[in-house]
Amino acid sequence: MTVHAYALTTIDKDLFFWPQVPVIEFGHKFRLQRLVPEINLGGIMDKFNQIQDYGKFAPHIERTHWELVVDEKDWEDVEVGNGIRFVDLSDDDKIACINGAVSILLTLIRLKGCYQFIVPMMIHNSSFSKIHSAENGSITAHFFPQQNLIQPMMPPVIPHILDHDDIEWIMKHHVTLGKIFHEGRKDFLIDIFDTMVYPNPKVQLVITWAAIEAIVQPEKDEENETGIRHSLRSRCSMILCESVDEQMEKYKEIGKLYDLRSDAVHGKDLSLDEEDYTIDDVWGLVDSFSLLKDLLISIIEKGDMPTIAQLRDLQTEFNTTHY
């Protein structure tokens, strides 16, 4: 059986993002463990089958303080669909299966506010912590281009360190999120979360709103003479809020955030060094991303991605209640 390891690299070398414990277990299939770069990742060039793979990873070494380890022996009896067990898959399908499960896990970690890392690569045939005992030339690597950035930017979040409740929540909903993304055909949302480290606030904002729109699927309502803006605001409000007052407050709040999105799409420069980039824009970006996270967390806890029919019903209910 084969061990695979994912490099978790801090966006800011001085910003550590996990509790000060050596290992965090996510069930029996995933293990997060601390690395000391100068000890674990020094002198490993000869371990790689392709020397250029080491060269691609080398710029990240100093900031790679954790790894996520997956051992195939822990997956042997896992059913991956239609009565097929993991152990019966081809080698390529095994890696694809593990990559999918890891992507879901990392998305959940990020949804809980722990977003201070990128995952530039994974290696096969060893963990990083044991790479010195691997045979020379035995390590193969797979890179994730969207996160293999030398100078990634912190996504618009307030940093958070995982606690015990977060870990329990993540494990409780791991299978659920995979099911939701697969059945709702929203797997691309994982890619959106991966690209949120792109070093440009405008790109981050546009990506965020593309994800929100993909979830709530806003539509024009010719009969009631309302457009995309109203549809998006009303559907988000109904998903997130129970009381009538909360719904209207959220509706108004989203309107202000949508204004920033529209300004960015139509040319507003959100570069940090631009004179017209204000503190309100900063918080607008943070609050827009929080809206996306809140939507996904609500949907995950309910267990299903809303259908277009359900979204239309929510909008109708909002209109009936508030107008």
Residues 98 and 219 in one domain: no
Q: Is residue 80 part of a domain?
A: yes
CA 93/CA 81 separation, integer angstroms: 13
Residues 67 and 177 in one domain: yes
- The confidence score (pLDDT) of residue 137 equals 96
CA separation (Å) from 91 to 68, 94, 97?
A: 20, 5, 10
Is 183 in contact with 277 (CB distance < 8 Å)?
Answer: no
* pLDDT tens digits for range 272-289: 555 555 777 888 889 999
Sign of CA dihedral 11, 14, 17, 22: positive
* pLDDT tens digits for range 221-265: 877 778 999 999 999 999 999 999 999 999 999 999 999 998 888
Dihedrals phi, psi of 10, to nearest 5 degrees:
-70, 140
- The confidence score (pLDDT) of residue 151 equals 86
**Nearest CA among 295, 280, 213, 281 for reference residue 250:** 295
Q: Is residue 191 part of a domain?
A: no
- The confidence score (pLDDT) of residue 166 equals 92
Q: Is residue 120 part of a domain?
A: yes
Number of separate domains in the chain: 2
220: pLDDT strictly greater than 60? yes
**Nearest CA among 221, 210, 214, 250 for reference residue 233:** 250
Residues 165 and 206 in one domain: no
* pLDDT tens digits for range 149-193: 888 888 888 878 888 899 999 999 998 998 888 887 777 888 888
Provide the pLDDT confidence category of residue 74 given band limits of 50, 70 and 90. very high
Residues 168 and 245 in one domain: no
Q: Which two tokens stand for residue 240?
A: 């997130």
Q: Is residue 271 part of a domain?
A: yes
Residues 168 and 223 in one domain: no
Range of the domain at 97: 3-185
Residues 10 and 156 in one domain: yes
- The confidence score (pLDDT) of residue 272 equals 54
pTM for the structure as a whole: 0.90
Residues 221 and 146 in one domain: no
12: pLDDT strictly greater than 80? no
Q: Is residue 151 part of a domain?
A: yes
Domain stop point among 141, 158, 185: 185
How do beta strands 30-34 and 140-143 pair? unpaired
Q: Which residues pair with 117 in a beta bridge?
A: 10
CA 15 to chain centre: 18
- Reduced to 3 states, what is the DSSP secondary structure of residue 24? strand
Q: Is residue 190 part of a domain?
A: no
Residue 2 identity: T
Domain stop point among 157, 185, 213: 185
Q: Which two tokens stand for residue 14?
A: 């001085």
Share of the chain above pLDDT 90, in %: 63
Residues 101 and 25 in one domain: yes
Which of 148-152, 218-222, 294-298 is modeled with the greatest confidence?
A: 294-298
- The confidence score (pLDDT) of residue 249 equals 96
Domain stop point among 185, 209, 230: 185
Is 218 in contact with 141 (CB distance < 8 Å)?
Answer: no
Q: Tell me the average pLDDT of the chain.
A: 89
Residues 140 and 255 in one domain: no
**Nearest CA among 32, 96, 94 for reference residue 68:** 32
* pLDDT tens digits for range 54-72: 999 999 999 999 999 999 9
* pLDDT tens digits for range 243-254: 999 999 999 999
- Helix ranges, the chain (H): 37-40, 51-57, 91-111, 164-183, 188-195, 201-216, 228-240, 244-265, 279-302, 308-322
Residues 177 and 213 in one domain: no
Residues 216 and 180 in one domain: no
Residues 142 and 173 in one domain: yes
* pLDDT tens digits for range 121-141: 999 999 999 999 999 999 999
Q: Is residue 193 part of a domain?
A: no
Q: Which two tokens stand for residue 305?
A: 């991605």
